[in-house]
Structure formats: structure tokens, C-alpha cells
Amino acid sequence: MTDPIVRLTDIHLSLTGAAGAVNILRGVNLAVERGRHVAVVGPSGSGKSSLLAVTAGLERPTSGAVEIDGRDLARFDEDALARFRGRRIGVVFQSFHLAPTMTALENVALPLELAGERDALGRASRALGDVGLGDRTGHLPAELSGGEQQRTALARALIARPPLLLADEPTGNLDRATGEAVAALLFEAADRAGATLVLVTHNERLAGRCARTVVIEDGRLREAA
């Protein structure tokens, strides 16, 4: 594999709780080629979401190296890491993570406004149109259905045209029909943007749409059989 967009090397993550240190990730190694769709599957509590958080730079590993698009995330301070993530990584969460007091349009435009980009609202309006929400731009998250909130979150994740898209159980809070519609949109949007997709999911059908599946169990990673 040449020049992977994601390279995780011997990643360990330990978190301290009331009962002491808990080992979440135990020597994870993963390289993801550009443009590929990769599913991460495994039982609850196995470390899937933590793996995605480390990849996104939302969680610093206890040890090991995280390289995204050729950059070592350990070399960034928190401000520089936030700027890098805003340009190079889009993240879609299971629980949407939309600002409740901001309209769909304002939520989608936020990454561009934080980066000082021009025409943030115009680009956000077009992005919402791309996910079928051109008529919902002025609605608050509470006024949107779960599927509409997730489509808004997808538009926000892709607004800066990042080369890497990370999705953590993006259909987990949706009914089957709505989840399948959002999943179709997720893959279509990633392909249209030429983005690499790393997808955490319990959904076997969703994982089956990816070119590669890796399994995490007890904090350790292996290729699917």
C-alpha cells in the first residue's frame, strides 16, 4: 500500500475511571488507502468509537502514532489540530451533534465560518440541497426528523470537501427505512467527493457495502475473515 490517507501505528488508549485505568485500545495498527470504503465492526464496548475518535484527533492516544494525510497528529497543538481537522476530516456521529439553537443552514455553514471561508452560507445552502434539504434550511434541529438531522450532519461533514470522512454508527438512531436512505446518501456523497470513508457500524448490510471490513475485539484489530 502506497501513501495511505490513514496510518495508525501501535495505538494504545487507556482511560482512568473510578475503578482505575481501563485499556480501550491495545496495539492497534491500521492503514487505509485513499478513496476506499472501510467498515469497522465488533461487539459493543470493543473500542470502535474510541478508534474513530483517535483517528479524528478527538482523543489523543496514550501511545502510538496517528498519521492522517501524511501529517503526524502528535505534532499539532489543540488549535492547529482543530484547524487541520476542519479542512481534512469530516465526522458524522450517531447522535448528530447539531447545535440546537442554530438552523440547519447555520449548522452546515459553521465549519466554513470558523475557517474564515467566504460565502459560507451560500455553500451551506447548496450542500443542504445536495442532501435533499433545500426547503429545510431555516429549521432548527428540533424541527427536523432524525433522518433530516443526520442528513444535515452529513452535509456539515462534507462542506469543506475533506479527503477523509469518518462515520460512527450513522444509522444507529434511525429506523430501518430512514437508515437505509441515509446510508445510500452517505456512500453517494463520499463517492462524489472522492473521499475515503471509515465507517463504524453494527449493521452487517452497511458493512457489506464497504470494500474492506476490519474487526475490533477487546481493543485489538484484525481483518474480517
Spell out the domain ranges in the chain. Answer: 6-223
Q: In the 8-state DSSP scheme, what is residue 18?
A: T
Between 145 and 45, whose confidence is greater? 145
**Sheet strands (E) in the chain:** 6-17, 20-32, 37-41, 63-68, 71-72, 89-92, 164-168, 196-200, 212-217, 220-223
Non-local (6+) Cβ contacts of 106 within 8 A are 99, 121, 124
Residue 1 has pLDDT above 70, yes or no: no
Between CA 67 and CA 60 the distance in angstroms is 12
Between CA 118 and CA 8 the distance in angstroms is 34
Among 3.30.70.1450, 3.20.20.70, 3.40.50.720, 3.40.50.300, name the CATH number for the domain at 6-223.
Answer: 3.40.50.300
Between CA 223 and CA 27 the distance in angstroms is 14
Tell which residue, 192, 191, 210, has the closest CA to residue 200: 210
CA distances to 32, 111, 125 from 120, rounded to whole Å, are 31, 8, 9
Q: How confident is the model at residue 159 (pLDDT cuts 50, 70, 90)?
A: very high
pLDDT at residue 2 in the model: 66
Q: In the 8-state DSSP scheme, what is residue 74?
A: G
Q: What is the pLDDT of residues 178-205, one digit of tens each?
A: 989 989 999 998 998 899 999 999 988 9
- In the block, cell 453494527 appears at 202
User: What is the SS3 assignment for 135?
Assistant: coil
Here the cell at position 105 is 443552514
Q: What is the pLDDT of residues 77-136, one digit of tens each?
A: 999 999 999 899 999 998 889 999 999 999 999 989 888 888 999 999 999 999 999 999
